[in-house]
Homo-oligomer: A and B are copies of this chain.
């Protein structure tokens, strides 16, 4: 098999190659739609299971709302429909007839869910209402890229309603914190959090918080968002309820979501010249056991021991597989599992077997040690912790090396276009200056709670606060 494109010089080609070779995805004949293959889907299932647990532990309940939404629903909130209209996928015929009103495939479910909330929230006793759904959504894409931007994608969308704005705001920040925890402590991806500017926020929201990562090629990736919707949608959907003082009030709403894009972030952040590197905490296969077999020899003892070790490791909660294929060389297997980013490998050959040991190796090349059968489960758990920590540290170091402070766009415009990176700068807060960034194919990624610059990156006016600027996916 050909080598992967050079990750240092051809990052984009590397990404487009590795996701197919590692069998995360495949192309389909439908524009912007991909197949997520078993290995890719298994990574999503790990992420989903971790996040779902936290969503439930923080008091939310899963439910399921319709895929199709009447076109008129989207039009109820002016900014909302303006934001999504160009990307809508529209059903006009069903059951052999033309529909009286077209239905759109949900690009997001605020409108449908708020229609239902209006039926369910009648009294202050019905609040807070905290719902989540795991679903597929659709936004038509002219330049799709698997995981990063596809017409159909998978996500969770949380939707909550609260009696006070403070409580809604707390919810928005709590979920942002949950997302940060997922990104940093599980995906091993450092992120920066902050508010989106007025022009970059979610259509219809009062405030949008984002968490942003920087990919090794210097482009920012929006990892997910948490919106304070406040009362806009509540008023549009006539979501009146009787409050504690027996007056009619509107609740304060939030919504928040992350998507299968997180898989793309993991691929880009941790991958190397050999292929993927999946952080142990989300790896569908944390350890691959490779018996070193001799042609013509009786390999039964080795194969049986490999299977037994796997059973022992599973008892300790470790996700492990044995590659027992006798038609492949160990070298071919190393190559295959390294490409797929399995974070740890166990080798067991005839000599190891006699000595009652295996060789335990990690995907980053941090450690290669002989470990006795008895000590193996603990050694794997320890090594998983080391690899997980190292991945985050390495990504943080890389990210910090690409984070620059610069007072004026005229100074950093060139670097922005060549080496990329986060550019922390001052901003007057006006959209006219923000628009200047478009000329350099960049945007504001998020506002920072700092004020390190006297003036705006573009105009001579005073800076209101720091802003992070970057090109983005």
Contact = CB atoms under 8 A, between A and B. Distances in A.
Interface string A56-86: 0000011111111110000000000000011
A202 to B, nearest CB: 20
B94 A92 contact: no
Interface in A301-333: none
A105 B85 contact: no
Given A28-B116, A41-B62, A152 B96 contact: no
A61 B42 contact: yes
Interface stretch (A134-142, A176-184, A238-246, A410-418): A134-142
A356 interface: no
Contacts of A91: 89-92, 105
A29 interface: yes
A28 B68 CA distance: 10
Nearest to A130: B38
Interface in A31-65: 33-38, 40-42, 44-45, 61-65
Interface string A229-260: 00000000000000000000000000000000
Task: Categorize the interface residue count of chain A.
Answer: 35 or more
B66 A35 contact: yes
Contact of A95 (B115, B116, B136, B140): B140
A395 interface: no
A73 to B, nearest CB: 8
Nearest to A87: B95
Interface in A326-376: none
Nearest to A150: B66
A75 B248 CA distance: 55
Contact of A140 (B45, B94, B115, B140): B94
A90 to B, nearest CB: 4
A101 to B, nearest CB: 10
A41 B103 CA distance: 24
Given A29-B70, A36-B64, A66-B152, A86 B96 contact: yes
B152 A67 contact: yes
A63 B35 contact: yes
A103 B29 CA distance: 11
Contacts of A136: 67, 135-136
Query: By CB atoms of chain B within 10 A, which of A28, A105, A112 has the most?
Result: A28
Nearest to A138: B67
Nearest to A116: B35
A432 interface: no
Contacts of A289: none
Contacts of A64: 35-36, 41, 44, 154
Query: By CB atoms of chain B within 10 A, which of A44, A61, A66, A154 has the most?
Result: A66
B35 A65 contact: yes
A262 to B, nearest CB: 15
Interface in A145-184: 151-152, 154
Nearest to A103: B30
Nearest to A61: B38
Contacts of A138: 67
Given A94-B89, A94-B140, A68 B152 contact: yes
A438 interface: no
A141 to B, nearest CB: 8
28 contacts: A28-B66, A28-B115, A29-B70, A29-B115, A30-B68, A33-B66, A35-B63, A35-B64, A35-B65, A36-B63, A36-B64, A38-B131, A41-B63, A45-B62, A66-B152, A67-B67, A67-B136, A85-B96, A87-B95, A89-B91, A89-B93, A91-B92, A93-B102, A94-B151, A95-B140, A95-B142, A135-B136, A136-B136
Given A89-B95, A90-B91, A92-B92, 4 more contacts: A28-B112, A30-B70, A41-B61, A88-B96
